[in-house]
């Protein structure tokens, strides 16, 4: 999904290194990883300044499959103990925003929003103290990556579901490409000032790095110029 941004950075770097770039090779895959890392850094900086428009960072997955998974998630720890529950996987969330990182989780028609708890402790400690809506659907999301490098989520008090929808802020939007309904997500161009900031910073860093790498070594004459 960052291929166009990576290509733009590579073109700007080559233009800034006119006459030097004939021996320079930039990996687009590596550059996309650097884009994701720089994006997180820029988001953090603007968040601390209090000038980050959260709505510009939201992305939707409209067909998250629901399956069944044991809450214990460790069959060898307690042999024979199983607590099967409705389960789903989502890309890693940007946890710096807490509950604000999730704008919606619920039915695919966006008509039934579930209450969301983000916690690594899968007990009903939050739900049991609720005086109202105890039978309303709710989900627990574990903010610790699982074996697939995704987040586990569990659904309670909901009818049998095959799919759910989520609108949230994700750490690495490239993980959305793993969902069948998100075909063509690499073509989405919801660019914001953050993408432009990422582009400018990485271009500057690359040009500075390659210029230093190709500087001509001068003899040490022990003289100040």
Q: What are phi and psi of 67, to 5 degrees?
A: -125, -155
Contacts of 170 (CB under 8 A, 6+ apart): 59, 91, 92, 93, 94, 176
Cβ atoms 210, 68 nearer than 8 A: no
- Give the global pTM: 0.79
Whose structure tokens read 């105890």?
134
Task: Identify the band that residue 122 occupies on the pLDDT scale cut at 50, 70 and 90.
Answer: low
Cβ atoms 51, 165 nearer than 8 A: no
Task: Identify the band that residue 21 occupies on the pLDDT scale cut at 50, 70 and 90.
Answer: low
Give how far Cα 23 sits from Cα of 9, 17, 18, 19, 136, Å. 17, 11, 11, 10, 62
pLDDT per residue as tens digits for the range 51-107: 888 888 999 999 899 999 887 766 666 666 677 889 999 999 998 887 789 999 999
Q: Of all residues in the chain, what percent carry a pLDDT higher than 90? A: 43
């Amino acid at each position: 999904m960052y291929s166009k941004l990576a290509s733009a950075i590579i073109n700007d770097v080559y233009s800034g290194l006119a006459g030097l770039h004939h021996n320079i090779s930039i990996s687009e895959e590596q550059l996309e990883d650097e884009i994701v890392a720089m994006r997180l850094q820029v988001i953090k900086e603007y968040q601390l300044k209090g000038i980050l428009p959260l709505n510009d960072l939201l992305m939707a997955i409209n067909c998250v499959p629901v399956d069944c998974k044991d809450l214990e998630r460790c069959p060898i720890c307690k042999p024979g103990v199983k607590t099967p529950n409705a389960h789903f996987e989502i890309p890693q969330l940007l946890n710096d925003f807490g509950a604000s990182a999730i704008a919606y989780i619920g039915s695919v028609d966006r008509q039934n929003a579930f209450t969301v708890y983000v916690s690594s402790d899968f007990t009903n400690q939050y739900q049991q103290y609720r005086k109202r809506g105890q039978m309303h659907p709710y989900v627990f999301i574990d903010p610790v990556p699982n074996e697939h490098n995704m987040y586990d989520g569990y659904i309670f008090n909901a009818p049998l579901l095959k799919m759910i929808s989520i609108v949230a802020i994700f750490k690495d939007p490239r993980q959305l490409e793993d969902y069948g309904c998100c075909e063509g997500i690499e073509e989405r161009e919801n660019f914001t000032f953050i993408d432009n900031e990422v582009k400018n910073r990485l271009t500057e860093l690359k040009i500075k790095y390659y210029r230093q790498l190709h500087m001509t070594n001068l003899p040490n004459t022990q003289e100040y110029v």
